[in-house]
Structure 1
């Protein structure tokens, strides 16, 4: 076997009739390509190493090879293909573009080496001189670092290109197949609840990079973690709660919005996939609640949306524990959140935030049920204010507020008759504004708004024992607009 330039780079002597043993070659290669060597492997060196692995016979490559040697080589190659480290906090600078492009090219070369290495390991399983006895320990040693490498490059990032993504996707599929699994989720969590997957090994490697002082140095670490976490679901995730909760809280506590959203989404996945008893143990749920609650003071719509959706799934867990412990608090967590949300909604003028608030408000009303009466005064002001303002072609805020009003009437109907004059006036004014609107609102959206307002009027009529029908008689007789008359007719004909 002619190794040429690679052997010279490794500093090995190659007598005419002999070939250096694989243990020696791969150990020297690990040292040569390690980040501590102070050099970056060239494309030619990676191609030669790839050709060596591809051309080598399984007995020569794997016979007598220790798992630690191959594990060291995999770690070294993964390190040299990693995105450039960030010495300072902040967004990626344009000057990083060249370094990212070079990292993507190295990643494609390293990925090819790993692909051929996995192919050799698969082939060696069927050979009598090697078999699973030899291959098994090697696979267990290299699977986690190869997975992290593939997850770093599998989706589009600043440090990837089309070739590196394609190689990473192929590598991930080969890794899953080599483990005898059917999917990435199965690879990570195991085929059954009793079988341990590779998630623990992956998190052990990520652990040293997910500390307060290190998680920002490698820009890929947070993405590998957040891409991996959703693949591990209930009931497996509860076994790893102590490993995944701290980094999720750490990322969500960052000052950059994109990191906050990433961390909140990780927390949301944990809330959905870990039993309530485990979340309440050691006050974990309360810690998560306070972290999310602080984000409600943000002015960024995407973050607020992620936080509110997360809180809606966390609140039932918190309140169950709150009632069981009979804590002496003036309000339940859901009341605290809704009170703050309504306070912000009253003064909010940015349409993006108004849409987010209005879109999630119905879920809070349903969550509280009849207890929404605690917030009726402020909620009424919010509903009246939001019904007045057109918020663009899709009218998302108005539609959300109409749904909120319907839910409020259904749950707090005994308190509605006294509010009938102001609500009836606001709904009729909105119906007229929508009918006369000459803006860019499409006709289907207008029809949905009118239908929502009509349903609110019907509900108000039912809970006020027909008072709305009486009040609308004069409006119907004096109105000449067919579309408005049609809405009133539906109310009058309702039973």
Structure 2
């Protein structure tokens, strides 16, 4: 293979009988070439050829992993998105800079692929093997993973080529670590084995502080893409590393950052805090903590410090003042049981549960909301609240009934997400609070029949499958109402059924008569 261009660039020519220059010297000068001048693409291509052609003993044998680790760090920095000095969604000239970043990333990824292939081959060499290759892999896997996670999905600084290389690189990392998946690569093969997540978070830590997390636009995405791969019981040992950046991102003024942070918090709640809320879970999680600093402080105190918000549960309801979206509301639902357990353990007085307080606030906003986009968000979240409260939803029936009646009246567009969500809410409410339904039968029956007629006569853009779903949802509500009212719906619908000439509505009423 022709390497004369690279040799001239490194100024390492010499008599043919001389030994090749030390690997450290070559790698050091390559790093300098990348950081000091243009022509990076040519250097990267030559480097890929050099690694592929080099003897494994020359490249790895008897060498400290530090040189390779520094080269990997230099290459990753060479392909990183441009740093920002200000917080903005788009900066002037950013598109061109991102396009150049994607091309550099594809070239750097190709070099990393050659390096991992060479390390894999070196494992089988008698003179090298795992004793030599293992420390090198331990040094380079973390930085290479962060690089791959930066470019693996569609972002402003990626293109099809860079994404493809990053995906191939992740697969190569998984193989090199003798793992079966990215999740196993990060967390370890079993509960007692520590994966590479600690090393990854160590790299991200310096860029996930209050003053730095917005300078590199990729950092928050690398963190949020990586976090879901680490689940219980492994995530508990990293609580102090993952909770602060999640809170930091969710506390930002920009809506996209709030949502991203809430998704991270929700994952932590489901995989750490819900388990640790019980005394047994606390003991189990504390046992799994591995560092001295974590062992010195019981996990119960750390969970309480971060999540119980002192003695005033009104702090909890402030979360629902975030920009309303599905992520926030569902995250709240899973957070509330933790707060309730904490209050019971502290024997604090509580006239109403935290979930009741939040639902009261949600219903207040839901009832008064006229913007269709937010009506859809609230309507799709209400069924989960009803399921969580169970029979205790009876405390909120008066206000919930007003919301149901109001939302059944209004068509909210082709997909009818608000109406479908409200029908699901009504079904769940009937199932849980059925003894309180007969007294509400007249108003609910009238609202359901009116909605069914509106859907049947709608000549707008609502697709037929959506209409069918609405009619089926209303029919199911009528069947449930009939069962909890001892057949009153069936009696009241007899006259309607006999006088109805519209086949579609008549078929729904027939189902009620036969199935109720």
Task: Return the TM-score normalized by structure 1.
Answer: 0.91
* Alpha-carbon separation, structure 2, partners of 1:348 and 1:113: 55
Residue-by-residue CA offset, 1:305-343 (whole Å, 9 max, x unaligned): 111222233233333333343321232221122111111
For 2:387, the equivalent position in structure 1 comes to: 366
* Alpha-carbon separation, structure 2, partners of 1:225 and 1:111: 20
For 1:388, the equivalent position in structure 2 comes to: 409
Return the offset for 1:427. 1.9
Q: Report whether the alignment pairs 1:93 with 2:91.
A: yes
Return the offset for 1:48. 1.8
* Alpha-carbon separation, structure 2, partners of 1:490 and 1:48: 73
Runs of 4+ aligned structure 1 residues displaced above 6 Å come to: 288-292
* Alpha-carbon separation, structure 1, partners of 2:437 and 2:39: 74
* Alpha-carbon separation, structure 1, partners of 2:164 and 2:123: 26
What SS does the corresponding residue of 1:296 show, helix, strand or coil? Answer: helix
Instruction: Check the 8 A contact 1:7/1:14 in 2, yes or no.
Output: no
Instruction: Check the 8 A contact 1:148/1:202 in 2, yes or no.
Output: yes
* Alpha-carbon separation, structure 1, partners of 2:204 and 2:33: 24
For 1:167, the equivalent position in structure 2 comes to: 165
For 2:101, the equivalent position in structure 1 comes to: 103
Q: Report whether the alignment pairs 1:317 with 2:341.
A: no
Return the offset for 1:431. 2.4
* Alpha-carbon separation, structure 2, partners of 1:482 and 1:183: 54
For 2:481, the equivalent position in structure 1 comes to: 460
Correspondence for 1:273 among 249, 253, 271: 271
Residues 24-35 of structure 1 aligned to structure 2 (within 5 Å): 24-34=25-35
Residues 82-161 of structure 1 aligned to structure 2 (within 5 Å): 82-93=80-91, 95-161=93-159
Q: Report whether the alignment pairs 1:297 with 2:295.
A: no
The 3 A distance-change label for structure 1 pair 135 and 415 is same
Return the offset for 1:293. 5.1
* Alpha-carbon separation, structure 2, partners of 1:318 and 1:143: 39
For 1:349, the equivalent position in structure 2 comes to: 370
What SS does the corresponding residue of 1:124 show, helix, strand or coil? Answer: helix
Instruction: Check the 8 A contact 1:249/1:291 in 2, yes or no.
Output: no
Instruction: Check the 8 A contact 1:264/1:310 in 2, yes or no.
Output: yes
Stretch of structure 1 that moved more, 308-317 or 72-81: 308-317
RMSD value, Cα: 2.6
* Alpha-carbon separation, structure 1, partners of 2:507 and 2:396: 33
Instruction: Check the 8 A contact 1:215/1:222 in 2, yes or no.
Output: yes
Instruction: Check the 8 A contact 2:308/2:342 in 1, yes or no.
Output: no
Return the offset for 1:298. 4.4
* Alpha-carbon separation, structure 2, partners of 1:307 and 1:132: 47
Residues 9-20 of structure 1 aligned to structure 2 (within 5 Å): 9-10=9-10, 14-18=14-18, 19-20=20-21
Correspondence for 2:61 among 43, 60, 63: 63
Instruction: Check the 8 A contact 1:26/1:70 in 2, yes or no.
Output: yes
Return the offset for 1:7. 4.5
Instruction: Check the 8 A contact 2:30/2:43 in 1, yes or no.
Output: no
Correspondence for 1:285 among 281, 304, 307: 307
Q: Report whether the alignment pairs 1:401 with 2:422.
A: yes
Q: Report whether the alignment pairs 1:379 with 2:400.
A: yes
Return the offset for 1:236. 0.9
* Alpha-carbon separation, structure 1, partners of 2:424 and 2:471: 12
Residue-by-residue CA offset, 1:109-146 (whole Å, 9 max, x unaligned): 22222122222222222222222222111111111111
Instruction: Check the 8 A contact 2:437/2:484 in 1, yes or no.
Output: yes
Return the offset for 1:209. 0.6
* Alpha-carbon separation, structure 2, partners of 1:447 and 1:53: 62
